[in-house]
Structure 1
Amino acid sequence: VLRRVTQQHGGSGVAPGKDLPPAHQASMPQPQVARAPQIYQPSSYSTVTTQRSNNNVYAPYPYPGKVLPPPMQIQQPSQYPVHPDVRLKKLPFYDLLGELLKPSSLMPQGSMRLQENSFQFHLTPQQASDIGTYRDCRPGSKMEYIIQVQMRFCLQETSCEQEDYFPPSVQVKVNGKQCPLPNPIPTNKPGVEPKRPPRPVNISPLVKLSPTVANTIQVTWSADYGRRYAVAIYMVKKLTSAELLTRLKSRNVRHSDYTRGLIKEKLNEDADSEIATTSLRVSLACPLGKMRMSTPSRASTCSHLQCFDASLFLQMNERKPTWNCPVCDKTALYDNLVIDGYFQEVLMSKKLLSDVNEIQLLQDGSWENLVTKKEKDKDKEKGKAKSDSGSNSRANVDVDTVDLDESTSAVSTKPEEKKNAPVIDLISDSDDEEDEGPSAKQIKTSSKSASSQGTPRRNNDNARRESESPDLLVINLE
């Protein structure tokens, strides 16, 4: 390298001696040439300094940085729709009049276990007037609201209609006052929180009936990270079981030919087999009340012919809504109930006996009374007992006739005529006896009165009458 440098500069310059020490070489004048590239590259390692970024990313030496997860994975409020497209199931005992608060999401805020949301709704002047007018204010009893403000909770699921469902550990305050909720159903399972029955909540007593004042609802619940919940408020009119029965009779009556066709189909489907069903037995007693039905009905989703009384079924669901068929225990909703015209004709038919609660359905779709052997035997015994008692009474009765006629003065003297039917004529001897009336005359027909007041001839007649002892005494008062 030094040779090239001296040649390029015309041999001028002094090459440093090989034997000089480094200090003397440094003090010697150096040629003005470009430095050769370094043979050894500097190390790529640098001092490690801890740096903090906005994303809380730490880069420990020598591995690349990692993002630490948050302590709890809670969905941000922006991921919850304010008004989800949730549809709640229609309640049969309530007519929907208005929607005061659309189904709204219960949005958890932060990582706290207990969450709280607030909602507001207003009443129109007409709504406030209707709620205050249609209420029963009887003294000494609880106020009953016919038109109610109803609050409902459900799961935030949009695929189908939702039933009422309360969030865990839910508490509600309406205008700052605690709202009573259905009592939880106790459970014997350890570690399982008891659930409240799925029912709507009537908040009418806590609502301010004013169109100018807002009503506030505060909902507190335990966050459930696997489920979302929604709350809605409606204005409804409460119905009774009698009103639902009237609606059912006016629109859901099935013609008798439909049931007659079902009977033929059931009895003729096994006609070719060796063991065929030739008749069906159906009870006319309701499985709920064990009494004869007045309005035979069943659900259109049921496949059996047995009916139940619609009135008792609606009354039972008015107290505790289950809507299960009492025959097959399947779901029998009110919208699916029908009144069977065939069995309605059977109950109104004069052919039906008063003491028969079962009928037999035949292959041609007709029916007949089903009388058991025990009932037939009882009827035969009753008939025999009546015939025996009638014959005995006719054989043992002898008739004697006693004529109380004051107009005659003597007793007939022909003994032949008095042999089978003796006639005794009591003649009044004094004016006092005439004043005593008919009742006294009847008393004097006894043997004691005749012996004390009558003549010896009368005593003989009375003695003869007592000796014969007739079973039946006929007295002619003419």
Structure 2
Amino acid sequence: MVMSFRVSDLQMLLGFVGRSKSGLKHELVTRALQLVQFDCSPEVFKKIKELYETRYNKKGSEVAAPPAPHRAEALALHSSYERGGAVPRPLPAASIDYPALYGKYLNGLGRLPPKVAKPEVRLVKLPFYTTLDELLKPTELVPQNNEKLQESPCIFALTPRQVELIRNSRELQPGVKSVQVVLRICYTDTSSPQEDQYPPNIAVKVNHSYCSVPGYYPSNKPGVEPKRPCRPINLTHLMYLSAATNRITVTWGNYGKSYSVGLYLVRQMTSAELLQRLKTIGIKHPELCKALVKEKLRLDPDSEIATTGVRVSLICPLVKMRLSVPCRAETCAHLQCFDAVFYLQMNEKKPTWMCPVCDKPAPYDQLIIDGLLSKILTECEDADEIEYLVDGSWCPIRAEKERSCSPQCPILVLGECPWGKRGWEPLGEITEFQNGLCWKGPAGSSSPTPCCGQGHFPLSQVTPSPVQPGLGHFQEFRGSHSCSGHPHKEEFLPDISSGCGSHSLCAVPPSLVPNPSPALLEPL
């Protein structure tokens, strides 16, 4: 029918459905054929029939019921051209009833390709969720009016097999099954797989009860909008685990963006299960890792800088602990690894899937375990860093040994302290030891004992006492007096008039404080 329409008929048809009426005849015919193929509603078909009858009403019964031989010949001619056979003997033009011919195939569309399916919204795969069944394909949330808050209901029922899977699944925690019915929401975009994204003011109601939706992360930065973790929403605990129908109502804010929702039966995985799966299928052979090291360190003839080695830390950048399961993403350009155990645990709590080394995406399906570095960790237990060489070999880099505790300078006698006065012990020697002062004690005594006063400090740091000039004194609190030449603090009331009280001959004369006299400095 459409093929026999005049330009005016085609324009009337396209204007009836609100399509463009401008253009040449072949363009109008193309639009009309596409209209019938993809959007042939009963109203459109009725309009086509009306235009066709108006166009050929003058022919009367001849058009409505053409002679049977002519119809058969026309169909035979049409089918013979389709089969690609030899061109049949041409029939007289008057013997072919073209309106009847194309009306037989609904305006000639019976020979057009089948209807092309509309692209569907796809959601990204989540490592911690294995999809078992698709209960509801992603369906667009269509607003029903101009209100800001919209509601979209959904009714479905679980099959006996699905109910059995949920009931027999293990519990991840009290009241939370590993097999769940989850609701996922994303933008309505068919160009690429979409990540979960909640619309504003979202609320989910399951069988007369509202389901909790993840809240926003708190933000400590002023002026920064808090973010919300958009995860699958678990509906299992509010559903009827039977043949009864479940009603889900999604409330969302209509602010211009289009969203789609989908329902899935999934099995939630743990970080330990993902780690075990990674160890099973994700280990890269040590020889392949060695070849990668050689490739990284290969001499570039166009570069003036030659790399002779690259250092790799054996400390995880996430937790600052020694690596146990070294891994990285295949897309990463670095050799540095992070610990798979902590990486999976962190993404289980807050999924970001970003490499902690280069800050680029490192999704689970691109993670590999470095077999070469795993071998190095077992062979090198006393180093925290290694260096890869150009031939693929490696060598440990150990920390420098700590400085020896032995003194770096000879022990010198700085002065004497009159311990024999007033019933005190015999004289001792104040010596410099490891850049500090100590009391050696009388002859025949054991190793030096550090002084408790300012005698711990080098001579240049000892401030002369305002009471009695010498190596220096200080008064910590009333009734207590410390001398820089003695190992113990003795409680007494000092005699200010006589200087240091009972320690009137204490320590070294004032002349030795800034520049000690060589006569009093002699080796032990």
TM-score range, shorter-chain basis?
0.5 to 0.7
Summarize deviations over 1:162-192 as a string: whole Å, max 9, x none: 00011111111101111110113456787x9
- Provide the rounded CA distance (Å) in 1 between the counterparts of 2:268 and 2:397: 43
Summarize deviations over 1:367-399 as a string: whole Å, max 9, x none: 111123x22x55x779xxxxxxxxxxxxxxxxx
- Provide the rounded CA distance (Å) in 2 between the counterparts of 1:186 and 1:316: 18
Shift of 1:218: 0.8
2:229 aligns with 197
- Provide the rounded CA distance (Å) in 1 between the counterparts of 2:123 and 2:191: 11
Residue 160 in structure 1 maps to residue 192 in structure 2: yes
The answer to whether the 8 Å contact 1:294/1:309 transfers is yes
- Matching residue's letter, 1:341: G
1:239 aligns with 269
- Matching residue's letter, 1:312: F
Q: Which has the higher contact order (CA 8 A, sep 6+)?
A: 1
- Provide the rounded CA distance (Å) in 2 between the counterparts of 1:186 and 1:290: 26
2:395 aligns with 368
1:145 aligns with 177
Residue 337 in structure 1 maps to residue 372 in structure 2: no
Task: Select which of 326, 331, 340 maps to 1:301.
Answer: 331
- Matching residue's letter, 1:144: V
The answer to whether the 8 Å contact 1:279/1:363 transfers is yes
- Provide the rounded CA distance (Å) in 2 between the counterparts of 1:91 and 1:122: 24
Task: Select which of 148, 157, 160 maps to 1:122.
Answer: 157
SS in 1 for 2:182: strand
The answer to whether the 8 Å contact 2:217/2:227 transfers is yes
Task: Select which of 330, 348, 358 maps to 2:385.
Answer: 358
1:254 aligns with 284
- Provide the rounded CA distance (Å) in 1 between the counterparts of 2:302 and 2:266: 56
Superposition RMSD in Å:
2.7
- Provide the rounded CA distance (Å) in 2 between the counterparts of 1:197 and 1:344: 34
- Provide the rounded CA distance (Å) in 2 between the counterparts of 1:292 and 1:194: 34
The answer to whether the 8 Å contact 1:96/1:235 transfers is yes
Shift of 1:274: 5.0
1:230 aligns with 260
Summarize deviations over 1:84-137 as a string: whole Å, max 9, x none: 711111110111111111111111012222111100111011111221222439
Shift of 1:280: 1.3
- Matching residue's letter, 1:134: S
Summarize deviations over 1:12-56 as a string: whole Å, max 9, x none: xxxxxxxxxxxxxxxxxxxxxxxxxxxxxxxxxxxxxxxxxxxxx
- Matching residue's letter, 2:133: G
Summarize deviations over 1:309-349 as a string: whole Å, max 9, x none: 11111111111111111111111000000011111121122
Q: 1:127 to 1:272 in 2, by over 3 A?
A: closer
Residue 216 in structure 1 maps to residue 259 in structure 2: no
- Provide the rounded CA distance (Å) in 2 between the counterparts of 1:271 and 1:217: 65
The answer to whether the 8 Å contact 1:83/1:103 transfers is no
SS in 1 for 2:295: helix
Shift of 1:279: 1.5
Q: TM-score, normalised to structure 1's length?
A: 0.57
Shift of 1:203: 0.8
- Matching residue's letter, 1:343: L
Residue 178 in structure 1 maps to residue 215 in structure 2: no
Please give the residue correspondences for 1:75-154 in structure 2 after superposition, counting only pairs within 5 Å.
Answer: 85-136=120-171, 142-154=174-186
In structure 2, stretches of 5+ residues that fail to align are: 1-40, 42-116, 407-524
SS in 2 for 1:116: strand
Select between 360-369 and 273-282 the one with higher mean Cα deviation.
273-282
- Provide the rounded CA distance (Å) in 2 between the counterparts of 1:203 and 1:317: 22
1:264 aligns with 294
- Matching residue's letter, 2:255: D
Q: 1:258 to 1:136 in 2, by over 3 A?
A: closer
Q: 1:263 to 1:307 in 2, by over 3 A?
A: same
- Provide the rounded CA distance (Å) in 2 between the counterparts of 1:274 and 1:381: 46
The answer to whether the 8 Å contact 1:285/1:357 transfers is yes
Give the count of matched residue pairs: 291
Q: TM-score, normalised to structure 2's length?
A: 0.52
Shift of 1:195: 5.3
SS in 1 for 2:136: strand
- Matching residue's letter, 1:215: N
SS in 2 for 1:164: coil
- Provide the rounded CA distance (Å) in 2 between the counterparts of 1:196 and 1:244: 25
Shift of 1:208: 0.6
The answer to whether the 8 Å contact 2:384/2:398 transfers is no
Q: 1:362 to 1:381 in 2, by over 3 A?
A: farther
Shift of 1:232: 0.7
- Provide the rounded CA distance (Å) in 1 between the counterparts of 2:395 and 2:226: 52
- Provide the rounded CA distance (Å) in 1 between the counterparts of 2:131 and 2:118: 19
Summarize deviations over 1:287-313 as a string: whole Å, max 9, x none: 112222111110001000001111111
Task: Select which of 307, 311, 322 maps to 1:277.
Answer: 307
Bigger Rg over Cα: 1
In structure 1, stretches of 5+ residues that fail to align are: 1-77, 383-478
2:9 aligns with none
Q: 1:320 to 1:283 in 2, by over 3 A?
A: same
